[in-house]
Structure 1
Amino acid sequence: MLARLNIDTYILLLLGMVALASVLPVRGGASVVAGLLADAGIVVLFFMHGARLSRQAVLDGARHWRLHAAVAAMTYVVFPVLGLAVGLLPFLDSSVAMGILFLTLLPSTVQSSIAFTAMARGNVAAAVCSASFSNLAGIFITPILVAVLITGKQGESSTEAVATIAFQLLLPFVAGHLLRPVIGAWIARQKQLMMMVDRGSILLVVYTAFSAAVVQGLWSRISSVDLATILAVSAVLLALVLSLTAVLGRWLGFSREDRIVLQFCGSKKSLASGVPMAGVLFATPQVGAVILPLMFFHQLQLMVCAVLARRYGVEADRVKADAAGVGVEAFRGQAV
């Protein structure tokens, strides 16, 4: 039933962590232990990201530079501009506006971007490179954008933030990538274990973040109207970037396969990177409110892009079937 509705089970688990933190938030000494475990989870998460990144993907990424530049421009220029514009809306709560702006500063997703590109019969190799580049660049670009556009404006010290980013994000990532020749093959074989560690660490960060936010009175500041506003703004934001990527791809003269890469890689924001980054870049009581828009947007992008990918895939199969002089179902059977 969840698959038919395009609802990600993982999103339900994340919402479960929010509900649990709202009812049973971790407090006192237990919150210190939970925070240390969440920090350790972030380190492990970025170590794994580094070990997963293929060096060949980095080298291949430079070859199709126009496409990757377009994806990067959508991710780190157009999205932040839209986020700043949303912040000017007079009816938007300041914490909600900050969360939406943070959402727009994040890198693209990897797994879902590649999966939807494949489903839509796009350029999968280019999607792998673009998504990998976006995540790699995000380790450097997102903290800088957050410092310039969010935390820097609040007058917070940047020295501690830089040190935290270096030790919790950058060093584990580099260490994992350097050790890829040794552990890369083992990690590739342990997909189920890696997924549990990946998702489990994010669930822990979400629980500790929302616990701290609830203790600080999150739900007294965020109303049901704010939640409805987040949903509406996220839907409009997604519609805008999907339309802009479609127009930009045609304007740049990309092939159909490359336009699909631009649309699916350039319109997404990564929950897997965003949650741990928020835990590092913001004060603990702020994190819960900051990642709320990201959770809404993540589910919306999965649902909408799944529908688009299926439609693009059917259209591509129909075109090839017509060219081959057979029906679509017969063509799919031949392809399989």
Structure 2
Amino acid sequence: MGGILKAVGGGNSHACNSLEDYLNQEEKVQNDERIGINCDPESFNDDFRLERAKHLIDKDARAYLHYVVSYRDTDGLTNKEILEQTKKLVEGIEKFKGHQIAIICHSDREHHPHTHVVVNAVNSETGKKLAFNKKDLEKAKELLIELDKELGIEQELKIREGYRSQSMKSYKALEKGELGDKNIWKVAIKNAVLESMEKAKSKDEFIKSLELKGYSVEWSDNRKHIVVSDSEGNKRRLSNIEKEYPALEGKLTKEGLEKRFSLNAIKENGVSLEELKVQYKVKSLKDLEQEKANSWKKEIKKTKTINRGGMEL
């Protein structure tokens, strides 16, 4: 199929620091698969910040731009080859010349090899901000196609110049994101929320996970709604996500999330879903989630007591 270049966005210095932490997690980066162009890929935020200070750039100004290059397993590239292919790509993009760039390969997704490219928004040589528009992105995609051809990788389907996919449905979704569709940020926030919800065992872990992805969370006892914001200032109420995705109804409320966190904690302690069904005399997880909040908390405490050999926590 060939490589796919996707523009993820950008953010200020605070978001850049969170992004650095997220991209350099040990479980995501194997065999130290990183490349730094005029910067240290493990501490690129500090290097970027020094350049901004040198050119007297406001600390709240956009600090970076973020891109992802991904390949399918069927392309047959190793992680090292994907890393090198990404390096060739960024070195071939004229507008990136003079900018510090961190390239980090994530190996945690077995069937989705990909690299993250973080570009300092300020040119080290001129002090000017990077202006990278839709036409520049299309040119970069065409360059990636040519680089793939040199490795004998042909695109599986070319529907329109600069874009390719395996189906019209996935092509449309990809095109919207790459052309800067105004609503694509909504999908990004939704995906980040679901990913964090799947693993978090508490409210604090949930919020920290989203912050590491570059998002901020407003969750207050005095407010009904939970709000997640991206680095560009786009805000999303979790209740609105529920309205757009009926399958999530009731799962993104404060009570629904707390129930999910408790379930995640139980599962980590070694209690399987099947054991929970037997213990609580229910037929499905849906039935379990319909229990009242107070009853749920009592049952959680019972389970923890059993797991700790009968000792109260």
- Normalised by the length of structure 2, the TM-score is 0.28
**Which structure dedicates a bigger proportion of its chain to helix?**
1
Name the larger-Rg structure: 2
The structure whose RCO (Cα within 8 Å, separation 6+) is larger is 1
**Which structure dedicates a bigger proportion of its chain to strand?**
2
